[in-house]
Amino acid sequence: MLNVSAALAGDEDELLNGIWISLLSVEALMVIGVALRGLVIAVVPRLKQQTRPNTPAVG
């Protein structure tokens, strides 16, 4: 006789593994995004300071 529950159990494992990998991928992308955002926030003001011309203060 065909054991349907055993056949579905294998598919369920594959489905859950796919969902798990997808969630881990989304979490990794979020971590990379936050790290890049922090890096940009830290580097951009320094670059703006370096490119600012040295003009004497008027006064």
Model confidence pLDDT, tens digit, residues 27-43? 999 999 999 999 999 88
Residues 13-33: b if buried by 16+ CB within 10 A, e if exposed: eeeeeeeeeeeeeeeeeeeee
Indicate the pTM of the whole model: 0.60
Eight-class DSSP state of 56: P
Question: Domain span at residue 40?
Answer: 8-48
| 53 belongs to a structural domain | no
pLDDT for position 3: 65
**Within a domain: 54:** no
Residue 2 lies in a domain: no
Q: In this predicted structure, what is the pLDDT of residue 56?
A: 64
Number of domains in the chain: 1
Does residue 23 surpass a pLDDT of 90? yes
Q: CA-to-CA distance for 31 and 46, rounded, in angstroms? A: 23
Q: What is the pLDDT of residue 39?
A: 93
